[in-house]
Structure 1
Amino acid sequence: MSKIRITKQFSFEAGHALYGYDGKCKNVHGHSYKLSVTVIGNPISETSHVKLGMVIDFGDLKKIVKEEIVDKFDHATVFNKNTPHIELATELERHGHNVILVDYQPTSEQMIIDFSEKIKTRLPEGIQLHSLKLQETESSYAEWYASDN
């Protein structure tokens, strides 16, 4: 049976700040992120299965990624919980803003590692996460490949 890769693309808006960074990104700013999620598996061959011919229903993959990533990160501000931005985060939350405090510097590289862990735990048996691409700007992105990890 052939292994097939399928990809679904998502987008979300999020803000962040890189504490201790020596450039403009030390300031709170935002991005229009684009996330491509590629999984790999064998298409279902059981003729009586309602998902015959699919590796995974795109709708099922969408549900996983929306619940784990998009719905949480969209229009949120992401800060490393171990930086002085915690004071700003507390104030923003007090005013009803969506703030996510993470254990890492919220770069595209670290976010994509976090996303890979969240998605992998939700995939059905027989489906593996193959790769992720997190595009921060039109010309800048991070990629994660299972084969590298």
Structure 2
Amino acid sequence: MSKIRITKQFNFETGHALYGYDGKCKNVHGHSYKLSVTVIGVPIADPNNVKFGMVIDFSDLKRIVKEEIVDQFDHATVFNKNTPHVELAAELIQRQHHVLLVDYQPTSENMVIDFAARIKARLPQNIELHSLKLQETGTSFAEWYAADQA
């Protein structure tokens, strides 16, 4: 049976700062991110299954990505937990702002690696994560492909 790729897109707003960077992005700023999640699998062939003909129900994929990515990162400020930004983070947290401290420099490249791990851990066994595209601006994006990880 044929393998089919399906894609669902998500939008969220996130702030970040790149510690040690030599340009403007060392300052706290934000982006309107667009995330495209593509999975691959064989459509369900059992006519008695309520999801007959689907690789995965779009609503099931939406729930996974919403819980793992959108709900976590939307309107959050992301800092590398090993930078001096932790002082600013502590102040923001004290003022009840949504702050995420991560183990990496919060670039689009590193965020997409993090997102891939989070999504892969939640997908059903018969569904594979094919690719992610994280668009930071209208002209800039990072992509993750499972085929490149081998």
Aligned to 1:111: 111
Separation in 1 of the partners of 2:47 and 2:137? 43
Query: Aligned-pair distance for 1:11?
Result: 0.3
Separation in 1 of the partners of 2:97 and 2:72? 12
Separation in 2 of the partners of 1:99 and 1:135? 21
| Corresponding position: 1:72 with 2:72 | yes
Aligned to 1:36: 36
Number of equivalences: 149
Amino acid at match of 1:84: P
Query: Once superposed, what is the RMSD of the aligned Cα atoms?
Result: 0.2
State the 4+ residue runs in structure 1 displaced beyond 2 angstroms. none
Amino acid at match of 2:95: H
Query: Aligned-pair distance for 1:95?
Result: 0.3
Separation in 2 of the partners of 1:74 and 1:125? 28
TM, length-normalised to structure 1: 1.00
Superposed CA offset, 1:50-95 (max 9, x none) = 0000000000000000000000100000000000000000000000
Q: List aligned pairs for 1:1-149, cutoff 5 A.
A: 1-149=1-149
Amino acid at match of 1:63: R
Q: Structure 1 regions of 5+ residues with no counterpart?
A: none
Amino acid at match of 2:36: S
Query: Aligned-pair distance for 1:47?
Result: 1.0
Amino acid at match of 2:48: S
